[in-house]
Amino acid sequence: MKRTIIDASQLELTDKVVTIKRVTKTVKGGRNMRFTALVVVGDGNGHVGAGLGKAIEIPEAIRKGKEDAMKNLVKIALDENNSIPHDFMGKYGSSTILLKKAPEGTGIIAGGPARIVCELAGIKNIRTKALGSTNKQNVVYATISGLSQLKTPEQVAANRGKSIDEILA
């Protein structure tokens, strides 16, 4: 999967924490506690990214997760009614997510992790269904993977050497 690098400094990004987990490592002297934060950032206009931050304190883990998410921003193709151009299935690990195009007024019909990604990407109308594993981290990455692989009718027409009318017919 080819990713284009997006300059995060020029975007008005908002962030949401999807999950915070306490992880422990048993060592000779006892247990070491750390926190892992899964953070999604987006500008509400077709750019979204997710990142994982790990630290001893929660605020530091969130900050690191946000920085990681900014490094992994992807551009998403949206259609005229702020939905996706076509249906698609995103995959990451053992999680699969079905992304379905929806007409104006549908809203975001999605589970927690997928809903956060869609909201921050600026999608207003979409239906999703998580299939396979519903691990939050894998669902977020599967959603971003699926959304980043969407193509607009213009891109498909250019690849095939046809007009947009022939593609949409």
Digit-coded pLDDT (tens) for 130-148: 999 999 999 999 999 999 9
Band of residue 5 on the pLDDT scale cut at 50, 70, 90: low
CATH 3.30.160.20 in the chain is located at: 8-74
What confidence score (pLDDT) does residue 164 get? 87
CATH 3.30.230.10 in the chain is located at: 76-168
How many residues in the chain? 169
Please report which residue ranges of 5-106 form alpha helices under DSSP H.
Answer: 58-71
Tell me the C-alpha distance between 25 and 34, whole Å: 8
Q: Which CATH architecture has domain 76-168?
A: 2-Layer Sandwich (3.30)
Show the tokens assigned to 120. 């921050």
**Cα atoms in the Cβ-side hemisphere of radius 13 Å centred on 153:** 10
Helix (H, G, I), strand (E, B) or coil at 145: helix
Helix (H, G, I), strand (E, B) or coil at 70: helix
Could you tell me which CATH class the domain 8-74 is placed in? Answer: alpha beta
What is the separation of C-alpha 160 from the centre of its chain, rounded to a whole number of angstroms? Answer: 28
Question: With a threshold of 0.75, does the pTM exceed it?
Answer: yes
Show the tokens assigned to 107. 């809203």
Q: What is the pLDDT of residues 90-146, one digit of tens each?
A: 999 999 999 999 999 999 999 999 999 999 999 999 999 999 999 999 999 999 999
